[in-house]
Structure formats: C-alpha cells, structure tokens
Amino acid sequence: MDPIAVTSSGQLRGRTTEGITAFLGIPYAGDPVGPAAFEAPAVVKPWDGVREATTLGPTAPQPPYEPPMDVLLTNPIELGPDFLNLNVWTPGGTGLPVLVWFPGGAFRNGSNAIPAYDGSAFARDGVVTVGVNYRLGVQGFGVIADGPSNRGLLDQVAALRWVQENIAAFGGDPSRVTIAGQSAGGMSVATLMSIPAAQGLFQRAIVQSGSAEATALASDGALVTAELAKRLDVPPTAAGLGSVEIPELIAAQRAVAIELRQFPDPQRWGVTTVKAGGGIMPFFPIIDGELIHERPLDAIAAGAARGVELLMGVTSDEFRLFSVPSGQSAAVTAEALPLLLRGQGIDPAIADTYATNRPGESPGEVLSAIISDGFFVLPTIRLLEAQSAHAATYRYEFCWRSPLAGLGSCHALELPFVFDTLGTATSPLFQPDPPQELADRMHAAWVSFVTTGSPGWSQYDATARPVMTFGHPESRVLENPRADELALWG
C-alpha cells in the first residue's frame, strides 16, 4: 500500500518506487486566479479525506521557449489554477536533511515538473528533496499600485514556511534545510538570504549561476508593468491585469520582453531594470521597501545571512547558451567587439587580455567569455566574499563541454549532473554520451554540503580563491584561476 503523509492541510497519498516515495503536486498556497494572482499568497484550504499526490501538478503560467531553446531546454507547461504546488521525494525515516529547489528560467519560465529536477537520487542518498513552483512574469514580479511586489518571492517564503511546518511528516528535519537554485532560482536564493522574512527558514544555501545583484527600483519596475497594461488596454492593477485571460496576458508579456531585448532604452524601461536584468529580463525582484529593503549583496555583506553556509558555482562558458544557438556569436566581428562591450558598460580594453589567452577563438567567443565573467563569475565572487565574513563559503566551476559544437560548458549544462538524472536527459546538450562518473562526483558534493555543510574541498577565501573544477575525466581544485582576467574588472 502506498504511504500516506499527514500535513497541516490534510492527508496525502504518495507513490513508492524502488524505496523512494514521491508526493507530487502538493498545494502550499491558495489558487492565484484572477485578481488573486496579484495578491500575496493565500492559505491553502484544508481538504477532507486523502488527497492523491501521485501526479505532477500544474505549472505557473508562462510562454514556451522559442526555437532553438525549445529543443535545448525541456520546459513542460500544464495550465491549472493550483500551480502553487511543490513536490517531495523521501526515502522515509526521520531527522533527514532537506534540500529545497527553486527552478530557474529568467523569472518567466521553469517549474518543478522539469524531468532533470526529479529528486529521487537525492532521496536515495538520504536527502528529503522539495521542488517548488512560484509565480513568474508579471504575476510574480510586476509592480502594481494596489498589491504587494515580489509575489514570486512571497510564494517562495510561503513554501519555506510550509517546509518548516510539514517536512517532518516526510522524514525531514526542519532545522537542517538547504535552499538551492540555478539562474533565476539562484538569484532567488541569494535574495532570500538577504531578507528578514526568510530568516530562520533555512540554514544553508546553494547558488548556481546566480547573483545577489538582480534587483530593480520599484519605480523602474512600474514602467514595465505600465507598458504591459497599456498593450492590454487595462489599468496596471490587480483587478485590471487579473481580468485578462492567461493566453492574452502571456502573449503581451512576451511582446514586452522582446521589445526590451531589442531596444533596452533605460529612459523607457528604467535604468535599474535594464542594468540588473541585462536588458533581457523585464520582471525580477524589486526593492519595494517592504520585503526587500536594499540590494541583496549589500544586506548580505552587512550580515543578513550570518551563519548560513554557502556553496556557489558557475559553468565555464555560461553565456554561450544565449550567444551561440541564436547566431549572435558568429555575427560578432573584431570591429564590432569594442562597441558591443561599451554598450554593456564594459571597458573594451579588457578584450586584449581575453583574446590573447584564447588564441584561435573568434571575436564572438571572446565576447561570450567576457559577458560570462561580467554577469556570472564576478557576481559569484562578490557574493562569496561578502558572505565569507559571516559563514563558511565554497566555490566550484563546471567545466565539462557539451558535444554540441560551440556551446562549451554553457548555462544550465550542469543540472542533470547535480540531480544525477542523466538517464532521463534527452536534450542534445548532453547527448550522446554524458559521463556518469562526473554526475556521481558533482551530485555527491551537493549531498555532502546539504548533509554536513562542506562539499569536500577547502573553504573560499579572498586570497587563495580556491575553486573546485568539475570536469571529465578529472576534477580538481585550482587556486585563483584566470587571475589576470578577473583582475581587469577591479
């Protein structure tokens, strides 16, 4: 007989496979439908009897990825009102460490239904694993006059409170919680580290390909929402935006994102929106004076996450996922490189060192290396150094290269290695023969950190700057790699 767990809202029936029980689609907040989609998360209505938790729940409203990303990144979409749900994988027992995963996707895509995020391998290794959906796009992060900002983050806090209240019913210890995320999920984790509302809800954090600097002023965020509402011919309010059918809302949101990407004018969209979002993200966390009071990096440097052990990592060629499949990298000429760097606020002079260190690489590949450092590596170092004064921190880099030509070790490539889900990874990013031995090593390092607070190599410090490099056939610790390039940034 499949096991039953008793939660604060009612009983759940999971399904056990090879000793791991999965409880799927568990609601942790009320259905955000209509105007409620632009309000704080509501309390779940209790149910009678036993609720089946054996199939994945709906995903947050979102657009599909566009070609070629739709082939490279798996992103199932299933509409339904109860998308504020979470999944739990457990081996049974008591007092086990807990990993809470927040998916990435530029704050407009992603869910806990992505096959790579199956938590069975973590549960197999003694970690109760929780995958969380949260509101995305304008529903999650649009600024409106009559509702709270940062609703997607409020969802995440509500999910963490659910974990504190209920995870013991699944064998987890609420005093041993690690939060983790990649890309926008990593930005979410860094932000959660900085805000009073999340203090005490977790003890460790993992940030993969994220930063503590992706926040905008509320006044700038309001410009984006106003433009969206204008396109829909509704007021930028909970009632106005909540009256729009989901397909129409998503279509307008997509149009705004495309226009922002093509014409990232700070006067139109707001200086902090364009800067913090890199000109590609219209919706993300807002400094609203209620949930978020300052840039997360500054709050963390002042001790907001005192005692929270931190593991951070990047991939070696982050930006290639965005520049190579789109054809942008191939289009960059030597003459255009300085202009493109200057447009990103980067001193073009640094390109000389990067090009010298990469003989034979094209101007587009040099540009990708520089942008990868500016948007991923340098923010990782700044957050590590800010938190190192308050807790143990660790750094790693994922170096295995995709078999797809030109992509290298690109953004999102490490995810099935972390979750040890290479067996179900169908993306051409990983095929035809991804090294299981590398997944064994990287997954084990995360398990070790979640369980003990150490991934198995020396702590980060601003002098030696040790980095565990996960490659195949070898993984090893390097001290202060690429010091000459990183020093150029100041």
Q: Tell me how far apart the alpha carbons of residues 394 and 450 are, in angstroms, rounded to a whole number.
A: 13
Listed residue (106, 127, 247) closest to 181, CA to CA: 106
Question: Is 159 in a helix, a strand, or coil?
Answer: helix
Is position 39 annotated as part of the catalytic site? Answer: no
What distance, in Å, lies between the first and last C-alpha atoms of the chain? 61
Question: What is the secondary structure of 460-476 as a DSSP string?
Answer: P-TTT-EEEEE-SS-EE
User: For residue 311, which of 394, 187, 204, 417 has the smallest C-alpha distance?
Assistant: 394
Choose among 363, 380, 207, 193: nearest CA to 292: 193
183 part of the active site: yes
Identify whether 318 is a catalytic site residue.
yes
Task: For the full predicted model, state whether its pTM sits above 0.95.
Answer: yes
Please report the pLDDT score of residue 315 as a whole number. 98
Q: Which two three-digit tokens encode residue 69?
A: 């990303």
* Token pair for 357: 């260190």
- CB 274 within 8 Å of CB 217: no
Overall fold of domain 4-217+286-311: Rossmann fold (3.40.50)
Residue 270 burial by Cβ neighbours in a 10 Å radius (0-12, 13-18, 19+): buried
| Given the residues 9, 111, 149, 183, the one annotated as active site | 183
Catalytic residue among 329, 411, 414, 443: 411
Which two tokens mark 120? 């069975």
pLDDT tens digits, one per residue of 89-126: 999 999 999 999 999 999 999 999 999 999 999 999 99
Catalytic-labelled residue, pool 318, 365, 397, 485: 318
Q: Mean pLDDT for each 10-residue chunk of the chain (490 residues)?
A: 92 97 98 97 96 98 95 95 98 98 98 98 98 98 96 98 98 98 98 98 98 96 96 96 97 95 92 90 96 98 98 98 96 96 92 96 97 97 98 98 97 98 92 95 98 98 95 96 95
- Structure tokens, 454: 């150490």
Structure tokens at 255: 């149009």
Domain layout of the chain by residue ranges: 4-217+286-311, 313-374+396-487
Angle between helices 184-194 and 151-166 (to 10 degrees): 70
In whole angstroms, what is the distance from residue 473 CA to residue 476 CA? 10
Inter-residue contact 176 to 291 (CB < 8 Å): no
State pLDDT tens for residues 259-273: 999 999 999 999 999
Helix axes 218-232, 246-262, angle to 10 degrees: 120
Q: CA distances (Å), 437 to each of 31, 102, 116, 420, 433, in order?
A: 42, 25, 17, 10, 11
Q: Please report the DSSP string for 187-219 in residue order.
A: HHHHHHHH-GGGTTS-SEEEEES--S---EEHH
Predicted local distance difference test score (pLDDT) of residue 122: 98
Residue found by looking up tokens 């520049």 in the block: 323
